[in-house]
A and B are shown apart, each in its own frame.
Chain A
Amino acid sequence: MNLADLLHDAVEDVEPVDRLDDLRARTSSPAHAARPWWWAAGGVVVATAATVAAFAVVGGGPESTGPAGHDHHGAHAQQTMLVAAYFVGDTPAGPRLFREFDEVPSGDALEAALERIQRPPSDPDYRTSWTATSFGAVEVHDDVIHVELGDAVLDDDLAVQQVVYTLQAAAGERLPVQLADASYVAAPQLDVLGLVSISDPAEGTAYQHDTVMVANGRASSFEATVPWELRGEDGEVVRQGFATADGWQDRLHPWRARVDLADLLPGFYTFVATTADPAGGAEESLLTTDTRTIIVR
């Protein structure tokens, strides 16, 4: 047999159980839906609390970032910390880096951050350039971050910047990154980062329907304006507004928005932040956009 035949043959006797009813049940009660099945088994990967992420941006150190309370899997409390990990997403200007905060088991900040970008991002809009075996150990000596290479091939500038930005964030300072026999520094933010990004909410965060969601992120957007929308499952806009960032030139600047969730029906919503359109009337596809799926209960 050739390989295609062998692979088809290998799973030919797999007859999956019909789960359509389960699926209908899960999709009609969205409060349960975004919880991956293995959460129940004690896994800890995805969630990021708004409060903790804000803390991590300032602190950045592994000791300072023990999440205070995640009710939904608190029963399996294990020491965790947040890492800021950069992933690749698409923008009108081509692929750029976007940052997400991910909760990982406590440990060495550099190791954890490097490990995190060798796994898929939480936000399915993003991707990573690296695989589990791309890199080996990482450590700092003589003010240089040294990364041991696995099977990584360093032929993509943005992929290298993904490593540099992620490790510099973990180190808390902009140290050069030594990969193989070359040393890399961070490229200017406006050259490699998506021009708007959402730090909070994290992908899949759930909110009670009568609360206010505080969103924040970074942007370099015309006149510091960051328009945002909250969209329902069919794309209809249920809330909109704009945030004003601390600035808009030379680099990304922090922005923050309050989104009132009162009176929203339970379900999935998409929070969308975009760059502002200086001319007015531009197609949305020409603006940089970052999105997060949230759940309202």
Chain B
Amino acid sequence: MSSVNERITQEIQSIAASMLESGQVAAFLGYSQGTLPGTMQPFVARDVEDAKKFSWNSFCVINLANYLPALLRSLEPPRRRGEPPPEGPLPKVGVLATGCWSRNMVVQIQENQIERQRAVIVGISSRGMVSRRKLEAAVGYREITHIEEQDNSLLVRGDGFEETINRWDVVRDNCQTCVHPDPVIYDKLIGSLSGDRKIPDRFRQVEEIEALSVDDRWQWFQNEISSCIRCYACRNACPLCYCPTCFVDDSRPQWVGKSIDPVDTALFHILRAYHCAGRCTDCGSCESVCPMGIRMRLFTKKLQKDVLELYGFEPGLDPDAPLPLSTYKMDDPEEFILTHIKKGDKK
């Protein structure tokens, strides 16, 4: 096992155990080993014994912020809808947070989904998580039966092959272009901070698509989503998607058809992306969980780029900075609302 991961694993286990033992938290949210090589399972420990199951490696791909609101709610005494919470402090949850996960927790705090004081955040500076798909591609899609992670490489074995893969080569696109690997808010830190990274071409993938003609872009988009099975794993793995009833599930009115008509599928993906504009931290959960390998992260990445260009804003970095798309200002940019035709530019 990688010495880095081993150290982090041990620290998680001991921090979680001590927080649970002292009663500081009622539950601790982290990761345990999965049943397949290269899979990790989000895991909630509720006692000291459980804490031994925590583990850490480069395959912790689901944003743990996603579980936080429901887990916190589950620890509150039951009450009717609309009834105020009971007096006094409510049970707390310990949770691991990398850069993007912590930024999503900031967004959740800003959007009143969680209370800061109820989350005991244990920060870990992220070294980037590995894309299982990239790893599979790196070994020619042969079945991987064993992965041994070293500090900077992965030893991958399968039936009749063994290969050493450079870790960074198979790190997810979002992690490779991440500039904020450090947790933004935390109560305890594992390891040390590594500082913001300079990535000169962090939007390169988006720019390549922007450079296409409108038709080609549409073609690219349609091709990308053509294999979508509408399982909504992308939506459900996203900490931003917490609407009690998602627009795709609404029946009165029904906005989107339910089968896999290309128009309905496109509408789902476009609206999902737009709902995340100015809130998405590019954590990559959506893309990591897609069973069909759709790169829907590029849709939100484009909006991330737009929000950065138009508002100079990156979500989740500052708990006190208002979210640009849910705040109105007189001098908000608005050119993008107008179409060419309205502006008299008949192309």
Asked if A and B bind, the verdict is: no
Binding site for B on A (CB under 8 A): none
